[in-house]
Amino acid sequence: MHTLDDLVNKRLWVTYAKLNPQAGAIHRLLEERGERVANDHIALRTFNDPRVGLDALARPFLELGYQPRGEYSFTDKKLHARHFELDKDVRAPKIFISELELEKCSESLRRITAGLIEQAPAEARARWDFPALGRPWSVSFEEYESLRKESEYAAWLAAFGYMANHFTVLVNALRGFASLQALNDFLKQNGFALNTAGGEIKGSPEVYLEQSSTLADKVEVNFSDGVHSIPCCYYEFARRYPMKDGKLYQGFVEKSADKIFESTNKR
């Protein structure tokens, strides 16, 4: 029987940290200051084809006891999303899964993604670690570029497949930073570039959530027609605020998340 630790820490985090060394570097910097880093949420991406869609990607988490919570829509990016929580363990990270609404995309994008999905073996999609499977298809850089011109999201997913797009530091659990801005300043002083789309800090106490993120570093990816350097993963930081009932807000703010998605855009 596989556990949440197997899926999150031994599969998702290991793959993510290997491709995104800035996450491990930030983790170590915080620990050197005496902090214990808590993970707020993990984000995953997919296409809304039923073979690999949101429900298929959520299945391993549901089997571990997670329950669906908020639903979200990102009109401009043609995305639908849902987040999941594990009620029996409040320390467990929330899982945020988004999917590209293919029916709203061009015929060219649908043709390319259909070719990718066809390559994903059915037995792989049934695995307990499907969310950490990696890229189960071959894709050319020409196809990647074609997708990117219409959807940075689709291009990223085509290049990297199934893995954590980002992990998230819960700022509330940090003792040495009075605000998200203080953490941002610390990160910039240590050489990390932040996503400024929509402002360095997305959200506010009024919507009960503030978020910021690094910009994704580039990594070399093997495409079927050569090796190319493209943006990979990023690290996010979230500060949550109490609602009127005194409980910390646990959902997500569409306007803020929309800009966070752009952390992996090609620059």
All structural domains of the chain, each given as residue ranges with its CATH number in brackets, are 4-264 (3.10.180.50)
The pLDDT tens digits of the residues spanning 73-132 come to: 999 999 999 999 999 888 899 999 999 999 999 999 999 999 999 999 999 888 999 999
For residue 264, what pLDDT is reported? 64
The pLDDT tens digits of the residues spanning 37-66 come to: 999 999 999 999 999 999 999 999 999 999
For residue 242, what pLDDT is reported? 96
Strand partners, 95: 42, 84
Confidence of residue 4 (pLDDT cuts 50, 70, 90): very high
The pLDDT tens digits of the residues spanning 178-194 come to: 999 999 999 999 999 99
The pLDDT tens digits of the residues spanning 137-170 come to: 999 999 999 999 999 999 999 999 999 999 999 9
How many whole angstroms separate alpha carbon 229 and alpha carbon 190? 24
Q: How far is CA 90 from CA 38, 104, 181, in A?
A: 11, 36, 25
For residue 257, what pLDDT is reported? 77
Which one, of 216, 222, 170, lies nearest residue 193 by Cα? Answer: 216
Question: How many Cα atoms are found within 13 Å in the side-chain-facing hemisphere of 3?
Answer: 6
Segment 224-247 shows an average pLDDT of 95
Residue 59 has φ and ψ, to the nearest 5°, of: -50, -50
